[in-house]
Amino acid sequence: MFGLNKKDTTLFIIVAAMTLLAPFILNPFPTDSALAQFNAGYPDLMQRFVIFGILAIGFNILFGLTGYLSFGHAAFLGVGSYSAVWMFKLLSMNIIPAIILSVIIAGLFALVIGYVSLRRSGIYFSILTLAFAQMSFNLAYSVLTPITNGETGLQITLDDPRVLGVSVAENGNPPVTNLFGLEMRETFTLDLGAWAFQFNIGFYVCALIMLAAFYVSVRIFRSPFGLMLRAVKSNQHRMNYTGLSTRPYTLAAFVISGMYAGLAGGLMASMDPLAGAERMQWTASGEIVLMTILGGAGTLLGPVLGAGFIKYFENIFSKINDNILHTWFAIMPDGLEDLLVTIVHPFVGKGWHLTLGLLFMLVVTFLPGGLVEGGQRIAKALSRKKKDEPKTPDASE
């Protein structure tokens, strides 16, 4: 289907089903229950799942296929966000022109950085991309304040000279982002018994774009171009000895990956028209690397899983405070309750990074292929167990 083999088609259908049914899947617990704390089916978080999924998918095309580890992809994310907000300020609140401009500008920016950085490989390439990202962050934070608004961040205002559309909404506030009249923030809530499921326009727009981005990545992975990128990762020197220049292929992969990051940045600004320099910090680039490795670098599904895993921890575990912990352990005697809260406290709330770090260490140590390898091992174990089960004799025998 659509040029995919049977295995890839099945994978794409599974990803599409999980994405489109996310409002149900991510809200497994009743709204009023104590476990509702772990529900993640609200619009802002679901948007982050798919947007950072796009970011990780694009990074995986570079790192997963070629082995080139970039620590500067947050620069393209930030450039995409700034481009989108400027399009909202000058042209229209429709997200389509903003997203297109984000992808184009991020691609051109990646072309320049990639052309310079890819003259080196290994750790030197990584350091060069990190240097470019930090230069971009400092420029956005201080030097280019007329364009980026520095520390405050770039956002839409009532004074924007918008060519198409109004600068002031009927309620006196700045207009909101939309897709041909469909507001990105518009949300419909479906109440089914004790459950409340939220369906957000912005999430489904991002979800459809993520599915398109995932489809393109599958085609790249299975194409002759993807095969060449795998050859670069396998033995680039041997390819150079044959007289084949690998730089056009690695540069193309770098630009495509940067365009994915620009797309993610444009979508972030489309959901919330604000762009700040903090999106270009080296820590943001490190988070992208973490997502890809945790999910499974070089796999199709891994980056999406890694992005969802980290964003879930960041938004759910970080909100668990001592009051919630006392509620969980309330059935225990007072002394034991306080002891358990004291033990668990460093791993939740502000200490969620500690839990994530420990999980990352365990995954890298025991599952080098990431979460995807873990799923494959479980599937193989279940399949082996099923084969080993003795067959029940037929009564007719």
Q: Which residues fall within 8 angstroms of residue 381, CB to CB, at 6 or more apart?
A: none
The whole-angstrom separation of Cα 121 and Cα 180 is 45
* pLDDT score of 253: 95
d(CA 352, CA 356): 6
Give the angle subtended at the CA of 267 by the CAs of 266 and 271, to the nearest 5°.
120
Could you read off the pLDDT of 38-71 as tens digits, one per residue?
888 888 999 999 999 999 999 999 999 999 999 9
Q: Give the 3-state secondary structure of 274-303.
A: EECHHHHCHHHHHHHHHHHHHHCCCCCCHH
Question: What are the tokens at 64?
Answer: 């997963």
pLDDT of the residue at 57: 94
pLDDT value at position 267? Answer: 95
Report CA-CA distances (Å) from 35 to 38, 220, 291, 331, 365: 6, 41, 26, 16, 31
* Integer Cα distance of 86 and 104 in angstroms: 14
Model confidence at 392, pLDDT cuts 50, 70, 90, reads low
pLDDT of amino acid 397: 42
**Of 394 and 112, the one with more pLDDT:** 112
pTM of the full structure: 0.91
List the Cα angle 310/13/285 in 5-degree steps.
25
CATH topology of domain 6-280: ABC transporter involved in vitamin B12 uptake, BtuC (1.10.3470)
Q: Do 203 and 186 touch, CB atoms closer than 8 A? A: no
Cα–Cα distance for residue pair 125/247, rounded to 1 Å? 13
Of the pLDDT bands very low, low, confident and very high (cuts 50, 70, 90), residue 279 is confident
What is the domain partition of the chain in residue ranges?
Answer: 6-280
Give me the phi and psi of 182, to 5 degrees please.
-85, 115
Q: How far apart (Å, rounded) are the C-alpha atoms in residues 102 and 259? A: 8
Q: How far is CA 112 from the centre of its chain?
A: 24
The rounded distance, in Å, linking the Cα atoms of 18 and 16 is 6
Confidence bin at 396 (pLDDT 50/70/90): very low
* CA nearest to 232, candidates 292, 298, 296: 298
Q: For 91-123, what is each residue's pLDDT tens digit?
A: 889 999 999 999 999 999 999 999 999 988 889
- pLDDT exceeds cutoff 80 at 389: no
Q: How far is CA 76 from CA 70, 129, 150, 322, 383, in A?
A: 12, 11, 17, 38, 43
Cα–Cα distance for residue pair 136/359, rounded to 1 Å: 31
Q: What is the pLDDT of residues 337-367, one digit of tens each?
A: 888 888 888 888 888 888 888 888 888 888 8
Residue 157: closest CA among 146, 144, 170, 172 = 172
Rounded Cα distance between 212 and 204, Å, is 12
Amino acid at 386: K
Amino acid letter for position 47: Q
Q: 349 with 318: CB under 8 angstroms?
A: yes
The 10s digit of each residue's pLDDT in 306-325 is 999 888 888 888 888 888 88
